[in-house]
Amino acid sequence: MKNKVEILAPAGSYEVFLAVMNAGADAVYLAGNMFGARAYAGNLNNEELIKAIEYCKFHNKKMYLTVNTLLKNNEINNELYDYLLPLYNSGLDGVIVQDYGVMKFIHESFPDMEIHASTQMTITDSGYADFLRKYNVTRIVPARELGLEEIRDIHDRTGMEIECFVHGALCYCYSGLCLMSSFIGGRSGNRGRCAQTCRLDFNYNGRESKILSLKDLCTLDILPEIIEAGVFSLKIEGRMKSAEYAAGVTSIYRKYVDMYLNKGKETYKVDKKDRNRLLMLFDRGGQTDGYYMRHNGREMIADNTKISKDLGEKKQYEEYIHRTFVEANPKIKINGIVTIKKNNPVTMSLSFGNIAITIDGPTCETALNRAVSREDVDKQLRKMGQTMFELDTLDIRMEDNIFITLKSLNELRRTAVDRLTDAYLEASKRNNSHRFLPCAAHKESRNKGISVHVLTYEQADEAVKHNIQRMVIDTEVMSGDEISRCVELCRKNNVKSYIGLPRVDRGTYNVKSNSDGYMIRNMSQKTKCDKEVIADYCIYAFNNYAVSALEDYGITGITYPLELNEKELSEMDIDNGELVVYGRIPLMITANCIDKTSGNCHKGSTLFSMLRDRKNALLPVLTCCKFCYNIIYNSVPVYLFDKLDRIRIQPEYYGIIFTTENAAEVADVFKCFNNRTKPEDNTFTRGHFTRGVE
């Protein structure tokens, strides 16, 4: 048999947890009532979580808790430790995290807990591992947009466990970089409340379609290639799905993983019936094998919503799944010995694995009337009821003509089962946690000036005329020569220059510049930089633990988070921070290209195209051919100029982001900034500055 891999199944409730375990999952990922990326799933309460941990210990399975959202200061200071403590003490195998502060907090507070880096961290190359190793992260969940060779490279270079999605829903945006639901609908994906805005119709080039909605992932045909690329954990998406869906998908992947492990790649073949069964369980207009074998493609889009399905066959299949996996209650086989002798306490021994216990019951007496029989003893002691056990063997060592009450035998059995359970679970319990002290805000910031972000040389040329102190020169549009000219322009005007590195870096960008420093958009980029490094908003510093983690790693400037309100921002302990006070916010960074999907590729000759949503708002789309991704911007800019003299935050820099503006519009923006007035057209958003996210 080849090296074992892990089938990792989702569970949105305890019922689903049991169903996927019965269906063949090696491990399960789930959430409690807090901090999971699927806040609208049923999820498990603390009692159910502990019960699930205990189930996994007895069945030699693993359980990973999702803490894969961004946490605010009050949550990480006041709630996280108490939430995790009973689960850690009970033997929880690991946590899946997105937030750098959560990662730091768990590493310090729960030293024996496995930490897995979520796909929400947008890990696209091996450079990220340098940062993750500081916190003993043992597993990486790479961005879902990576191809097999990129995944193989991460595995080979880092030696860390790799976990990849093999089935279920796909996001259109790189995970962790999506603000569409947050800014358009007020429901943040980074807080587990995505409204799936991307599944709605949009109009592009006069055609209404679901151009941002991807088909569901199905990788049955390429499972051998995925495993051979170094993927250890095969992850099934679906914590919002039913028990029948989760168990059905798990059982089919169990079948084909075992087929490959036992017989190899040469005889591996997928039965068409199983593909159809997966479509019966859920169909979004077909399936795709995702990005594993391609960078992007029109064939991935779920624009065809005409789904033909035999509802009778679907119902019949789901009833089969329900009977086989959901209603199933397989028992753990244990062995027992009972000794019954006159004038001696009855003793019962139970054993499972390498654990054995023995307990004493009441003293046995000589029978005056009816003696207890072997059959009576056997029947009473095998009554395991709702426990997870059944007696495989029961050795009854019993003298004749003995009396003991059936009630005593029942009590003996219950006590022995409880003692065996406690003894077995004791080995996996922990008691070495300690509460990591809260990080409190203490720095007094003073504003040093303006930090502008430019996409074009035209914007840079105008911006230096307006008393700016720092310029971030984005690399998506400008040529190398234009970037060098911007750096020289800054030098001549006594402005510090920073190169804004690509928003998605697949490890191919050569970081060389005569600028003063770099603004990174991904933690892997830090290892490539030989000058001062500052972080953009997408390096999420959502709490002071995250700020501390970034500063410890040598990042000297941090952008305030875009999803916190004014009060929450004022509690941040950010030195040399930048507060975005103007600019269109990127709602999505996407590997798929809407021009390619629509058959309207212009090879970068047009800077922006427009996507119209159902409320007729126009979202500018930057087709970044240089790095092969799209940026979908908000329809209106964030605008805080008129509030700056009254807010509690005094950042080192006010951030002004230019995207679609020409030189004249850049000048108008600075005029509004200097006068602290609203724009004449009154089209802007406050973002989350006044509301924040739930």
Mean pLDDT, range 127-145, rounded to an integer: 96
Contacts of 357 (CB under 8 A, 6+ apart): 349, 350, 351, 416, 419, 420, 423
Q: Which residues pair with 364 in a beta bridge?
A: 342
pLDDT digits (tens, 9 = 90+) for 209-250: 999 999 999 999 999 999 999 999 999 999 989 999 999 999
Are the C-beta atoms of residues 501 and 509 closer than 8 Å to each other? Answer: yes
- Backbone phi, psi, residue 288, to 5°: -140, 150
3-class SS of residue 216: strand
pLDDT at 465: 97
Are the C-beta atoms of residues 284 and 216 closer than 8 Å to each other? Answer: yes
pLDDT at 344: 94
3-class SS of residue 558: strand
pLDDT at 254: 98
- Backbone phi, psi, residue 539, to 5°: -90, 85
Q: At 346, list the tokens.
A: 């009855």
pLDDT at 155: 97
3-class SS of residue 66: strand
pLDDT at 578: 97
Q: Which amino acid is at 84?
A: L
In this structure, are strands 94-97 and 114-117 parallel, antiparallel, or unpaired? parallel
Supply the mean pLDDT for the chain: 92
Cβ-based neighbour number of residue 528 at 10 Å = 18
Q: Using CA atoms, how far apart are residues 264 and 227, in angstroms rounded to an integer?
A: 11
* Domain residue spans of the chain: 6-170+215-326, 332-427, 449-584+641-675
CA atoms in the 13 A half-sphere facing the CB of 460: 29
> What band does 668 get if pLDDT is binned at 50, 70 and 90?
very high
3-class SS of residue 377: helix
Are the C-beta atoms of residues 146 and 291 closer than 8 Å to each other? Answer: yes
Q: At what angle do helices 272-281 and 311-321 cross, to 10 degrees?
A: 90
Contacts of 99 (CB under 8 A, 6+ apart): 67, 69, 70, 71, 76, 540, 542, 543, 546
Instruction: For residue 519, give Cα distances in angstroms to 115, 371, 453, 642.
Output: 27, 85, 10, 27
In the numeric block, the tokens 């820099």 are attached to 653
Q: Using CA atoms, how far apart are residues 497 and 517, in angstroms rounded to an integer?
A: 7
pLDDT at 575: 84
pLDDT at 320: 94
Length of the chain, in residues? 694
Are the C-beta atoms of residues 326 and 247 closer than 8 Å to each other? Answer: yes
The 3-state secondary structure of 529-544 reads: CCCEEEECCCCCCCCH
pLDDT digits (tens, 9 = 90+) for 436-463: 776 655 556 567 799 999 999 999 999 9
Q: Which residues pair with 411 in a beta bridge?
A: none
Residue of 443 and 66 predicted with greater confidence: 66
Are the C-beta atoms of residues 248 and 21 closer than 8 Å to each other? Answer: no
Are the C-beta atoms of residues 111 and 104 closer than 8 Å to each other? Answer: no
- Given phi > 0 = left and psi -120 to 50 = alpha, else beta, which region is 682? left
Q: Using CA atoms, how far apart are residues 639 and 636, in angstroms rounded to an integer?
A: 9
Are the C-beta atoms of residues 521 and 502 closer than 8 Å to each other? Answer: yes
Q: Using CA atoms, how far apart are residues 690 and 206, in angstroms rounded to an integer?
A: 35
pLDDT beyond 70 at 291: yes
Q: Which range, of 106-120, 310-324, 487-501, averages the lowest pLDDT?
A: 310-324
Specify the fold of 449-584+641-675. TIM Barrel (3.20.20)
Cβ-based neighbour number of residue 72 at 10 Å = 22
Q: At 418, list the tokens.
A: 């409880």
Q: Where are the alpha helices (DSSP H) in 200-242?
A: 223-228
Q: Which residues pair with 389 in a beta bridge?
A: 332
pTM for the full predicted model? 0.93
DSSP annotation of 184 reads I
Q: At 64, list the tokens.
A: 């990973």
pLDDT beyond 70 at 41: no
pLDDT beyond 70 at 1: no
> What band does 600 get if pLDDT is binned at 50, 70 and 90?
confident
Cα of 312 vs its chain's centroid, Å? 36
Are the C-beta atoms of residues 559 and 539 closer than 8 Å to each other? Answer: yes
Are the C-beta atoms of residues 176 and 542 closer than 8 Å to each other? Answer: no
Mean pLDDT, range 99-114, rounded to an integer: 96
Cα of 517 vs its chain's centroid, Å? 31
Contacts of 675 (CB under 8 A, 6+ apart): none
Mean pLDDT, range 172-184, rounded to an integer: 94
Mean pLDDT, range 380-387, rounded to an integer: 91
Q: At 245, list the tokens.
A: 């869906």
pLDDT at 38: 66
Mean pLDDT, range 304-327, rounded to an integer: 84
Instruction: Report the CATH superfamily, name and number, of domain 6-170+215-326.
Output: Aldolase class I (3.20.20.70)
Q: Which residues pair with 88 in a beta bridge?
A: none
> What band does 185 get if pLDDT is binned at 50, 70 and 90?
confident
End-to-end Cα separation, the chain, in angstroms? 48
Same fold, 6-170+215-326 and 449-584+641-675: yes
Q: Using CA atoms, how far apart are residues 440 and 571, in angstroms rounded to an integer?
A: 8
Instruction: For residue 568, give Cα distances in angstroms to 75, 542, 693.
Output: 12, 9, 10
The residue among 435, 428, 463, 430 whose CA lies nearest residue 449 is: 463
pLDDT beyond 60 at 338: yes
pLDDT digits (tens, 9 = 90+) for 536-556: 999 999 999 999 999 999 999
Ordered DSSP codes for 446-506 = ---EEEEEESSHHHHHHHTTS--SEEEEE-SSS-HHHHHHHHHHHHHTT-EEEEE--SS--
Torsion of CA 286, 291, 294, 299, to 10 degrees: 20
pLDDT at 604: 67
